[in-house]
């Protein structure tokens, strides 16, 4: 473990077993993050359409950046020469970089996995590259995020055979040890990744394996894919059972919709990331409280709606503009639409996390679950999980 | 004339005839505009990629919106129902709307001009519409800008025969009288448009005709097209000769590059608009002072350039980000690139206008012309005029 992270659970789960939801305080090189927390995704060193002030205004305190994308363009060495990722993108708050494992493995026919690493072709220009655990760590050290993540081999949870899951999970454990051995930066925390697909015994064994290694935090990988919510929740419970006395932060990668976040917090998760709130925003889908739940600004009826998207929302969209104006911007394909909509959905998501934290702090989380589920359910209806890629 | 505009020439041109440049103060329903001034173009009720705070930060005090575009989408009646254009786009400062004449007439095969008006097809869906002077005024009154503009028939300056120019100019005069007669709003100023192409006698006669009508201000139309800079400057001089004792503000429509703005101010123009600074910004071309003049951020060498685009620039791009970061955003086609680049070029252009005003105020404009021309020339080299369309 490094000294680059301190995690204090401020409000532990109640002993009556009604929930595993907890509130914590994660202190990192560039600031403090209250958990449970959601990390907006800045794939290319920018959360699409937003500048750092916009991001702060949404309530974001930590963001995720994608190692695979930044390695290919503009290049990790270039970012290091320019002073590191924080300075490059002018974000002076915590950043987590993923390991690139998910993106590399998602390339399908473009990649070959062997025991030493993965050879893959760039989605940008078809050029051939190779990631090993050591290289993934070196790239992340060059980027200089507050938190790096061990290199892993995720599999699609529902579509993979037991043999595929077992092989990938065991390889992930060997790569976890190599990632730890390769990691040098004392000002950067390192998280390990639990795999194991939807196989209960493999997931439990993977949680045990990663629990036994000196990481600063623990990711649950290979979820937020093609599994059902029930499968995901059962799998999270298996992993958290193993980790129940582990003092480190727990991060469920790639989730998701407000309803999914809520259920995962209930089961003991501290950190999340997803492109979903921003991606659906750019398509004109705005998240608002019940009863509307979510509204599609491309719908004809909003062209004459003088109301703000959400009455009590402090975001730059809702403070100044009407639904009618945003509907017009989307129809005219004006760039401002994408920024305003993204600010709103991220504000909604981060406010939802704040409501969850407040309920846990006040000891009312189990009693508030029904109300929080209502707030999240309309937003999340018929919503498939969207993974950061 | 309405009571919706007050124009005071604060610093008149020197009597030695070395320049006709003057500084004025234009008081409108939504605020005061110092002249000479440049109006950023908000075609669809948004200056592309910017929000109102961004616009204010560039130094903008008045913007132009396009009547033709807003008439088609979202519709002038809809904007009126939503409280007018200022409220719709959350810009509580002066706005000028053009008459739609330029856009309608530019549609080429899609339009038919007769003595009563223009029948045209929408570029959006091919539907048929008709603008008359009366209708163009009604649309602008519904939009509710601080300044409306009479309906006119521009022609391409260099590509039109003398007969075409004469017919269009005479029709423009008849339409000017009808626009005046149709205009009702007392809180909205109305400008007339001088046409006459590049024909010296027709341009002078048109200036005389519009000079004789009770407009609040006078536009020079049908320039900033396919003419050379020398042709334009000679034509401006002819019109301003006629208008030399006319106390009203003068607006040269559709210009342009810093070098073009400077020469027009020198010849007595007070107001300008153009999409050019924003359009070239979205293509990655950033305007900076001599000796670089302008830089294309898509150029390989900027990928490793840690400097701001312009060292002493107060815009949101230059205050926080490197050339390398902006170059990366353009390569990754990230939306933030278009906003940052637009903020910079508009800041540069509006700062250039402020330098011109300061030179006129201090009485050093004639002596500063060489230096101002140098600042503008590198930016403007090989740059064709771009008309708002």
Q: What is the pLDDT of residue A389?
A: 35
Q: Do A335 and B338 touch (CB under 8 A)?
A: yes
State the average pLDDT over residues A263-289: 97
**Cβ within 8 Å of residue A103, ≥6 positions away:** A66, A67, A68, A69, A389
Chain A residues within 8 A of B303 when measuring between CB atoms: 74, 78
Selected catalytic residue, list A54, A146, A260, A273: A273
For each of chain B's 389 residues, which pLDDT tens digit applies? 778 999 999 999 999 999 999 999 999 999 999 999 999 999 999 999 999 999 999 999 999 999 999 999 999 999 999 999 999 999 999 999 999 988 887 877 788 999 999 999 999 999 999 999 999 999 999 999 999 999 999 988 888 999 999 999 999 999 999 999 999 999 999 999 999 999 999 999 999 999 999 999 999 999 988 899 999 999 999 999 999 999 999 999 999 899 999 999 999 999 999 999 999 999 999 999 988 999 999 999 999 999 999 999 999 999 999 999 999 999 999 999 999 999 999 999 999 999 999 999 999 999 999 999 998 988 886 544 444 33
State the average pLDDT over residues A269-276: 98
Which residue is listed with tokens 């200036």? B207
* Strand residue runs (E) in chain A: 6-11, 23-28, 31-35, 37-40, 63-65, 95-97, 111-113, 118-121, 128-131, 147-149, 189-194, 217-220, 250-252, 271-274, 285-287, 294-296
- Cβ(B255)–Cβ(B385) below 8 Å: yes
- Cβ(B231)–Cβ(B197) below 8 Å: no
Q: What is the pLDDT of residue B383?
A: 45
Those residues of chain A whose CB sits closer than 8 Å to some CB in chain B are 44-46, 48-52, 73-74, 78, 81-83, 88-90, 303-304, 306, 316, 320-322, 324-325, 327-329, 331-332, 334-336, 338-340
Distances (CA, A) of A205 to A101, A201, A210, B49: 20, 6, 9, 50
**Cβ within 8 Å of residue B102, ≥6 positions away:** B152, B154, B221, B253, B254, B387, B388, B389
Q: pTM to 2 decimals?
A: 0.96
Q: What is the pLDDT of residue A382?
A: 56
From A303, A371, A297, A378, select the one nearest A341 (Cα to Cα): A297
**B56, B93, B336, best to mutate vs chain A, most A CBs in 10 Å:** B336
From A40, A38, A39, select the one nearest A342 (Cα to Cα): A40
**Cβ within 8 Å of residue B190, ≥6 positions away:** B2, B137, B147, B148, B149, B150, B179, B180, B183, B215, B216
pLDDT of A388 strictly over 60 = no
Q: Give the separation between CA B73 and CA A332, rounded to whole angstroms.
A: 8
- Cβ(B99)–Cβ(B136) below 8 Å: yes
Mean pLDDT (chain A, rounded):
95
Q: What is the pLDDT of residue B381?
A: 66
**Beta-sheet pairing, B95-97 with B63-65:** parallel
State the average pLDDT over residues A110-115: 91
> How would DSSP label each residue in B150-211?
-------TTTS-HHHHHHHHHHHHHHHHHHHHH---TTSEEEEEE--TT-HHHHHHHHHHHH
State the average pLDDT over residues A228-255: 97
Q: Give the separation between CA A45 and CA A74, rounded to whole angstroms.
A: 9
Q: What is the pLDDT of residue A290?
A: 82
Q: Do A336 and B50 touch (CB under 8 A)?
A: yes
Per-residue burial over A149-187, b = 16 or more CB atoms within 10 Å of its CB, e = otherwise = bbbbbbbbbeebeeeebbbbbbbbbebbebbbebbebee
Q: Give the separation between CA B216 and CA B201, rounded to whole angstroms.
A: 24
pLDDT of A213 strictly over 80 = yes
pLDDT of A192 strictly over 70 = yes
Q: Which of A82-96, A108-122, A335-349, B250-264 has the lowest mean pLDDT?
A: A108-122
From B357, B157, B334, B70, select the one nearest A41 (Cα to Cα): B334
Distances (CA, A) of B300 to A88, B22, B329: 17, 43, 13
pLDDT of A386 strictly over 60 = no
Residue A158 pLDDT grade (very low, low, confident, very high; cuts 50, 70, 90):
confident
- Cβ(B335)–Cβ(A49) below 8 Å: yes
Q: What angle do CA A202, A204, A207 make, to 5 degrees?
A: 110
| H-helix or E-strand spanning residue B15 | none
Q: What is the pLDDT of residue B125?
A: 94
**A48, A66, A82, best to mutate vs chain B, most B CBs in 10 Å:** A82
Q: What is the pLDDT of residue A265?
A: 98
Bond prior to A291 in cis (omega within 30° of 0): yes
Q: Which of B74, B316, B336 lies nearest to residue A49, judging by beta carbons?
A: B336
């Amino acid at each position: 473990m490094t000294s680059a992270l301190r995690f204090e659970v401020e409000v532990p789960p109640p002993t009556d077993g009604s929930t595993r939801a907890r509130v914590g305080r994660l202190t990192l090189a560039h600031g403090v993050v209250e958990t449970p927390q959601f990390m907006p995704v800045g794939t290319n060193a920018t959360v699409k359409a937003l500048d750092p002030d916009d991001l702060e205004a949404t309530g974001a305190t930590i963001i995720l950046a994608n190692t695979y994308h930044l390695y290919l363009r503009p290049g990790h060495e270039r970012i290091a020469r320019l002073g590191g990722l924080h300075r490059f993108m002018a974000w002076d708050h915590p950043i987590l970089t993923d390991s690139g494992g998910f993106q590399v493995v998602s390339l399908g026919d473009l990649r070959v996995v062997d025991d030493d690493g993965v050879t893959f072709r760039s989605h940008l220009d078809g050029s051939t590259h190779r990631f090993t655990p050591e290289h993934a760590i070196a790239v992340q050290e060059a980027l200089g995020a507050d938190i790096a993540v061990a290199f892993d081999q995720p599999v699609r949870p529902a579509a993979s055979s037991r043999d595929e899951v077992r092989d990938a999970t065991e390889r992930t454990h060997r790569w976890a040890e190599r990632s730890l051995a390769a990691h040098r930066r004392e000002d950067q925390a390192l998280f390990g990744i639990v795999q194991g697909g939807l196989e209960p015994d493999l997931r439990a064994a993977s949680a045990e394996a990663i629990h036994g290694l000196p990481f600063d935090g623990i990711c649950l990988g290979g979820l937020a894919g093609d599994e059902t919510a029930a499968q995901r929740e059962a799998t999270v419970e298996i992993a958290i059972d193993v980790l129940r006395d582990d003092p480190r932060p727990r991060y469920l990668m790639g989730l998701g919709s407000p309803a999914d976040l809520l259920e995962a917090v209930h089961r003991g998760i501290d950190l999340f990331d997803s492109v979903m709130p921003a991606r659906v925003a750019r398509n004109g889908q705005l998240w608002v409280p019940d009863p509307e739940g979510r509204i599609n600004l491309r719908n004809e009826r909003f062209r004459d709606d003088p109301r703000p998207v959400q009455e009590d929302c402090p975001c730059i969209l809702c403070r100044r503009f009407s639904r009618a104006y945003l509907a017009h911007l989307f129809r005219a394909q004006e760039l401002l639409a994408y920024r305003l909509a993204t600010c709103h959905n991220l504000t909604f998501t981060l406010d939802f996390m704040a409501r969850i934290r407040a309920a846990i702090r006040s000891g009312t989380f189990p009693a508030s679950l029904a109300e929080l589920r209502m707030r999240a359910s309309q937003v999340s209806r018929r919503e498939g999980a969207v993974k950061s890629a």
